[in-house]
């Protein structure tokens, strides 16, 4: 099994569609056997599901993610664990142990705010949760 995590500086990047890197974990029944970081090469929202599929990913851990991206992942058979924050390695360890705290109803509604859009980027609002459905 291959697990991808939206990745930035050891942490789970909080906006799936803007992630520049994924950390990929190869996992078997004994645990994590290998991990490495890959660059998305500028792939945006629509192309990321295909990028993950091409890299053999079966599971994704991320922070906020919109409905369209969720549908694209489902269409290529990638299991989603969204609404997760913190250390990427710790999240994968928790998933492998069946203890990952995630939000099955995760969303990222940063496009629908009534405040100044220029002052807001998904994941950069103090606690790391904001309005990305990670509560």
- In sequence order, what DSSP letters do the residues of 63-124 get, joined into one string? SB--HHHHHHHHHTT-EEE-S--SBHHHHHHHHHTT-----TT----GGG-SS-GGG--TT-
> Model-level pTM?
0.78
Tens digit of each residue's pLDDT, the chain (135 residues): 999 999 999 999 999 989 999 999 999 988 999 999 999 876 665 689 999 999 999 999 999 999 999 999 999 999 999 999 999 999 999 999 999 999 988 876 544 433 333 333 333 333 333 334 433
């Amino acid at each position: 099994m291959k697990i991808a995590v939206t990745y930035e500086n050891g942490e789970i990047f909080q906006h799936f569609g803007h992630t520049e890197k994924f950390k990929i974990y190869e996992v078997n029944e004994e645990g994590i056997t290998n991990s490495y970081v890959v660059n998305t090469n500028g792939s945006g929202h629509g192309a990321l599901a295909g990028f993950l599929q091409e890299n053999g990913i079966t599971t994704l851990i991320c922070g906020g993610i919109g409905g369209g991206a969720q549908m694209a992942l489902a269409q290529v058979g990638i299991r989603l664990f969204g609404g997760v924050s913190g250390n990427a390695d710790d999240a994968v360890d928790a998933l492998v142990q069946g203890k990952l705290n995630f939000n099955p109803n995760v969303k990222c509604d940063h496009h629908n705010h009534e405040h100044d859009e220029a002052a807001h980027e998904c994941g950069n609002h103090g606690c790391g949760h904001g309005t990305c459905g990670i509560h």
